[in-house]
Amino acid sequence: MSPLERRCRLLLRAYPAAYRRDRGEEILGTLLEATPAGRSWPRLRDVRSLATAGLRERAAQNRRLTTAANARTAALIGVVAYLGLLAGEYLSTVARSELDFRGAMPLSWAELALLGFFAASAALAWASRRRVLVLAGVAPAAAIVCLATPWSTFGWWQAVPVLVCLAALLVLAGGAQRPSRRWLWPVGIICAAPFLGDLRGIGGRAVDGRALSAELVLAVVVVCIAWIAVDARPAIAAAVFLLLVAMTIFGFSFGGPPQVAFLAVVCVLVSMALWRLRRQSAHRGGGTGATAA
């Protein structure tokens, strides 16, 4: 494969995967023919037009589904990302304490079971259309949160976001639309981010792993929000995720100026995202088929 073809293929990634499967090779052939001989990069106007057309095509994907279906998918992703962050925090804390040899802090049976039920509920809400299956994961997880309460050392309010998430998984499960696999990227990064907390240095330079971990999560959130013009769903997912994180951090003391400012920012974000989503989605009555959203 020539450097030109490799760069052209990279450029085609602006288009959604389904479009690339159908038209990618044809567009690539035209692009290679249209590029003057001897060049190792496509022409600037081709780069610009393919990037614009690809992003427009991505935005058009939402038009198969209604606003409600798209918002539901986005909220599910936000909830799954939050549960993934919690699971990542748990596991990284255990891994760190074992690595430091400061006495093992293995997961208790309750924590282990809770993580298992988190994973099962999230996976079933993502992949299955049967609410009863999701309930099989959600009900034991909720029981563990309430009874075995691994949260007791941090304060009872920390159980509330988890219970909210589990209830949300149950409500959001089912329906014809399932999130597509491309959503696994941001969710996976958020799940893996807490493990950066173990970093002490890179290439001999001291690194604050905890700060790096938080910055990575923040970067994913910022990219999701910046994507609003193309697809508003990541921004809605980011808003749900931020609200749940804020509930964990602030508890129910939302009266202070920082909390009020935070809530105002999230409200503006949700309003903008929903406004964009309405314009990007199909009108009521469309998109009833089982699709990957």
Partner 1 sequence: MREPTYFVLASLLEGPLHGYAIIKRAEEMSGGRVRLATGTLYTALDRLAGDGYVRLVSEELVAGRIRRSYGLTDDGAAALRAEAQRMAEAARLVTGEVAASGAGRFGRKARTA
Residues at the contact surface with partner 1, assessed by CB under 8 A:
23, 25-31, 33-34, 42-43, 45-46, 48-54, 56
d(CA 179, CA 76): 8
For partner 1, the closer CB: 51 or 119? 51
Smallest distance, Å, CB 28 to partner 1? 7
For partner 1, the closer CB: 59 or 187? 59
Smallest distance, Å, CB 282 to partner 1? 15
Q: Which residues contact 82 (CB under 8 A, 6 or more apart)?
A: 161, 165, 240, 241, 244, 245
For partner 1, the closer CB: 22 or 98? 22
Name the H helices within the chain.
Answer: 3-12, 17-34, 44-61, 67-99, 109-127, 131-143, 159-172, 184-192, 209-226, 233-250, 257-280
Smallest distance, Å, CB 54 to partner 1? 7
Smallest distance, Å, CB 1 to partner 1? 11
For partner 1, the closer CB: 60 or 192? 60
Smallest distance, Å, CB 267 to partner 1? 36
Smallest distance, Å, CB 56 to partner 1? 7
For partner 1, the closer CB: 33 or 284? 33
Residue 229 identity (one-letter amino acid) = A
For partner 1, the closer CB: 64 or 96? 64
Q: Give me the phi and psi of 180, to 5 degrees please.
A: -80, 170
Smallest distance, Å, CB 252 to partner 1? 50
Q: Which residues contact 173 (CB under 8 A, 6 or more apart)?
A: 76, 124, 125, 128, 129, 130, 131, 134
Smallest distance, Å, CB 65 to partner 1? 18
Integer CA distances (angstroms), 81 to 69, 73, 229, 242, 262, in order: 18, 12, 22, 10, 19
CB 126 within 8 A of CB 137: no
d(CA 271, CA 281): 15
Tokens coding 230: 């193309």
Q: Which residues contact 101 (CB under 8 A, 6 or more apart)?
A: none
For partner 1, the closer CB: 34 or 260? 34
For partner 1, the closer CB: 50 or 142? 50
d(CA 177, CA 170): 15
d(CA 159, CA 145): 6
